[in-house]
Chain A
Amino acid sequence: DVKVTQSSRYLVKRTGEKVFLECVQDMDHENMFWYRQDPGLGLRLIYFSYDVKMKEKGDIPEGYSVSREKKERFSLILESASTNQTSMYLCASRPRLAGVEQFFGPGTRLTVL
């Protein structure tokens, strides 16, 4: 089975802190994604990556950056956390093949105080 793991299930940070969210997949997938999920808004794409050291902005990249130094790992960085970044963050991966679904991690619920 494909496994996507996220470093924390719950995280509490203070405004202005630098926050790292880590995602690891074990199926050698080329593509990886970061979403945030908020009630009534569904999932919104923050950043995605097609390959190591490659990144593309999604729909809401402001206030975030990403890093992909190894194929299996995709990190989301909040340079200076703000209260409006309190949300559920979901990581996903998929192979670079037509029609194949994305596989999701369990999510990290981040609270910024």
Chain B
Amino acid sequence: AQSVTQLGSHVSVSEGALVLLRCNYSSSVPPYLFWYVQYPNQGLQLLLKYTSAATLVKGINGFEAEFKKSETTFHLTKPSAHMSDAAEYFCAVSQGSGYSTLTFGKGTMLLVSP
């Protein structure tokens, strides 16, 4: 069984401030972890993924995430927020096999103010 909890349905930051979006997961096997971003009226776009290689993963648009096995977390960060980062972000977990499905968190809406 697997599950994802995203802490905070909404996160507000000022432009230039640190972005931190939290993701806690549970998985009965070593997980594969993903962060997706969704802009208004669009589908989901992959930001980054962890697939058991380096624990610090760099993604697109300056985002990165760190896999912490002992804490079962995969938090998403960006050093300096930009107005264009305003979107909804989803954390997801899978068991990684070719037949596995994704389990998504409920999403975190990131609001960026000038």
A residues with CB within 8 A of B? 4, 9, 30-31, 33, 40-45, 48, 50, 58, 90, 92, 95-99, 101-107, 109
Query: Which residues of chain A come closer than 8 Å to B96, judged between CB atoms?
Result: 98-99
For residue B105, which residues in chain A have a CB less than 8 angstroms away from its CB?
42
B49 and A45 form a contact (CB under 8 A): no
Interface of A is mostly: loop
Residues of A within 8 A of B101 (CB): 33, 45, 48, 58
Instruction: Compute how far the CA of A4 lies from the CA of B46 in the bound complex, rounded to whole angstroms.
Output: 14
- Decide if A101 touches B99 in the complex (CB within 8 Å): no
Instruction: List the B residue with the shortest CB-CB distance to A101.
Output: B46
Q: Identify the B interface with A (CB < 8 A).
A: 9, 32, 34, 36, 41-46, 49, 51-52, 90, 96-99, 101-102, 104-107
A-B contact pairs, 15 of them (CB 8 A): A30-B98, A33-B102, A40-B106, A42-B104, A42-B106, A43-B90, A45-B101, A50-B99, A90-B44, A98-B97, A99-B32, A99-B49, A99-B52, A104-B44, A105-B43
Least Cβ distance of A29 to chain B in Å?
11
What is the interface of chain B mostly: helix, strand, loop, or mixed? loop
CA distance A50 to B9 in the complex (A): 32
Asked if residues A41 and B106 are in contact (CB atoms below 8 Å), the reply is yes
Give the residues in chain B near A107, CB-CB below 8 Å.
41-43
Known: A4-B43, A90-B43, A90-B44. A97 touches B104 (CB 8 A): no
Residue of B with least CB distance to A10: B41
A65 to B63, CA, bound (A): 38
Residues of chain A within 8 A of B106, CB atoms compared = 40-42
Cβ of B44 and Cβ of A42 under 8 Å apart? no
Using CB atoms, name the residue of chain A closest to B95: A98
Q: Which residues of B contact A102 (CB under 8 A)?
A: 102
Instruction: Check A40/B9 contact, CB under 8 A, given A90-B44, A99-B51, A104-B45.
Output: yes
